[in-house]
């Protein structure tokens, strides 16, 4: 069998991409964080499967391996989205965060097992949903950028993962074009080159990343090291503003506004909250106060008839959704479940009357 030079170069580039993905897997595994490990493994597995499945030559020569390769390639954009929210928003791997990958895989199976053509509504819908999740991943990177308290993670957002997200969007557009019949000869080589470039970029970024990007926090003793008189004064001002001043109640509170009030450079306040208070993002720092207050209000029999949404707004949340998510992440229960349990425990009426 004679293989054309363009096909050979495309295979070489895809081999480079697979090697880089192996390096990314090793870098993410060293994090020690279970959610990062799971999300990273799913991302690299789906990316490796896509690397093999997106080439006509490799796809035709996989044999029985075509089945698992094709399966793992179906939910790639969902795995990418999972990795973004896990790394940048410190969200745990759960049924909710796994749902996008599951949705894309299920829809892809319908098209694959139903032998739908790439131009069918099923595959076009699959590609559009992929683009939607990629767009939301880009939104996540931008939304929490300023509130990110981990400096190495802040620097990683734009140059690497932002570009990767754009790549996923372009890739989705190319797949939609292919589904509509637009498939020039250079697609395979261009796709292999793009994959090799992006995977190598990811390997370099994560192999060089400092441990704290993955959530490796400092010990309590280490947090006290390096605090000079100025740092202690700033932390005291911060505590006064958050405790007595209840700044956390303000809807839309930003780290920039807080820094201006205590008279500190924003980057310095960011470092102090991260290094010495142990928070990785500003939203978590503020929400810790809000959730503690919410627990008290939801447990108060005198406010039992007040709606959960009213309490959320009172505590500075702009809508009910973020409040519910933050409360459940902190307590393992929804606000309604928490209220029901605490009020039942406080009730003077016996649950098992004799």
Q: Answer yes or no: do 135 and 230 share one domain.
A: no
Residues 172 and 269: their CA atoms lie apart, in Å, by 40
Give residue for tokens 């009910």.
320
Q: Answer yes or no: do 184 and 256 share one domain.
A: no
Q: Answer yes or no: do 202 and 342 share one domain.
A: no
Residue 93 counted as domain residue: yes
Q: Answer yes or no: do 63 and 208 share one domain.
A: yes
Question: Any idea what the CATH number is for the domain that residue 283 is in?
Answer: 1.10.10.60
Q: Answer yes or no: do 116 and 204 share one domain.
A: yes
Residue 351 counted as domain residue: no
- Residue 79, pLDDT score: 95
Q: Answer yes or no: do 249 and 155 share one domain.
A: no
- Residue 119, pLDDT score: 67
Number of structural domains the chain divides into: 2
Instruction: Answer with the one of 184, 214, 244 that is the final residue of a domain.
Output: 214
DSSP code, position 161: I
Q: Answer yes or no: do 237 and 210 share one domain.
A: no
pTM exceeding the 0.85 threshold for the entire prediction: no
Residue 187 counted as domain residue: yes
Contact 135, 169 (CB under 8 A): yes
Residue 354 counted as domain residue: no
Instruction: Answer with the one of 170, 194, 214 that is the final residue of a domain.
Output: 214
* Token pair in block for residue 268: 């310095």
Residue 59 counted as domain residue: yes
Instruction: Answer with the one of 214, 233, 262 that is the final residue of a domain.
Output: 214
3-state helix, strand and coil shares in percent for the chain, rounded to the nearest 5: 75, 0, 25
DSSP code, position 50: H
Report in angstroms the alpha-carbon separations of 238 from 42, 253, 287: 40, 14, 15
Residue 341 counted as domain residue: yes
Residue 236 counted as domain residue: yes
Question: Any idea what the CATH number is for the domain that residue 164 is in?
Answer: 1.20.1070.10
Q: Answer yes or no: do 30 and 158 share one domain.
A: yes
Residues pairing with 281 in the sheet? 148
- Hey, what long-range contacts does 302-305 have (CB within 8 A, 24 or more apart)? 304/339, 304/343
∠ CA 294-139-284, rounded to 5°: 25
Residue 170 counted as domain residue: yes
Contact 74, 112 (CB under 8 A): yes
Q: Answer yes or no: do 199 and 302 share one domain.
A: no
Q: Answer yes or no: do 16 and 158 share one domain.
A: yes
Contact 130, 104 (CB under 8 A): yes
pLDDT one digit per residue (tens) for the chain, 354 residues: 556 778 888 889 999 999 999 999 998 888 878 999 999 999 999 999 999 988 888 888 888 888 999 999 999 999 999 999 999 888 889 999 999 999 999 999 999 888 877 668 888 899 889 889 988 988 888 888 888 999 888 888 877 667 777 777 677 676 667 667 776 777 778 888 888 988 888 888 888 877 778 775 554 444 555 678 888 999 999 999 999 889 999 988 999 999 999 999 999 999 999 988 989 999 999 999 999 999 999 999 999 899 999 999 999 998 899 999 899 988 989 999 999 999 888 766 544 443
- Give the H or E element holding residue 149: none
Q: Answer yes or no: do 64 and 154 share one domain.
A: yes
Residues 285 and 153: their CA atoms lie apart, in Å, by 17
Q: Answer yes or no: do 129 and 257 share one domain.
A: no
- Hey, what long-range contacts does 198-201 have (CB within 8 A, 24 or more apart)? 198/17, 198/163, 198/164, 198/167, 199/16, 199/17, 199/18, 199/20, 199/21, 199/24, 199/47, 199/51, 200/16, 200/17, 200/20, 201/160, 201/163, 201/164
- Residue 124, pLDDT score: 85
Burial of 289 (0-12, 13-18, 19+ CB in 10 A): middle
SS3 252: coil
Q: Which domain holds residue 202?
A: 5-214
- Give the H or E element holding residue 309: helix 308-314
């Amino acid at each position: 069998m004679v293989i054309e030079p363009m096909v050979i170069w495309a295979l070489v580039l895809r081999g480079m991409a697979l090697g880089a993905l192996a390096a990314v897997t090793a870098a993410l595994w060293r994090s020690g964080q279970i959610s990062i490990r799971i999300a990273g493994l799913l991302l690299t597995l789906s990316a490796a499967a896509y690397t093999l499945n997106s080439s006509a030559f490799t796809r035709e020569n996989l044999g029985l391996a075509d089945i698992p390769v094709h399966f793992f390639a179906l939910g790639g954009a969902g795995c990418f989205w999972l990795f973004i929210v896990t790394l940048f928003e410190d969200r745990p791997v759960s049924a909710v965060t796994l749902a996008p990958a599951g949705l894309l895989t299920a829809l892809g199976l319908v098209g694959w097992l139903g032998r739908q053509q790439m131009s069918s509504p099923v595959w076009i819908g699959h590609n559009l949903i992929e683009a939607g999740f990629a767009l939301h991943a880009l939104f996540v990177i931008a939304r929490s950028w300023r509130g990110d308290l981990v400096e190495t993670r802040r620097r990683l957002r734009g140059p690497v993962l932002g570009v990767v997200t754009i790549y996923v969007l372009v890739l989705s557009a190319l797949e939609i074009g292919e589904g509509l019949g637009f498939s020039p000869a250079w697609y395979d080589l261009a796709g292999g080159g793009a994959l090799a470039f992006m995977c190598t970029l990811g390997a370099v970024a994560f192999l060089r990343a400092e441990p704290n990007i993955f959530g490796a926090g400092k010990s309590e003793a280490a947090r006290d090291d390096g605090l000079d008189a100025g740092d202690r004064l700033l932390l005291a001002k911060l505590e006064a503003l958050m405790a007595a001043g209840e700044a956390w109640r303000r809807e839309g509170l930003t780290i920039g506004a807080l820094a201006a009030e205590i008279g500190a450079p924003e980057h310095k306040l960011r470092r102090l909250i991260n290094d010495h208070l142990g928070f990785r993002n500003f939203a978590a720092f503020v929400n810790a106060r809000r959730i503690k207050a919410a627990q008290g209000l939801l447990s108060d029999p005198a406010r039992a008839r007040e709606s959960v949404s009213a309490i959320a707004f009172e505590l500075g949340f702009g809508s009910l959704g973020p409040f519910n998510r933050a409360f459940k992440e902190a307590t393992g229960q929804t606000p309604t479940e928490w209220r029901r349990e605490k009020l039942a425990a406080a009730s003077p009426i016996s649950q098992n009357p004799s």
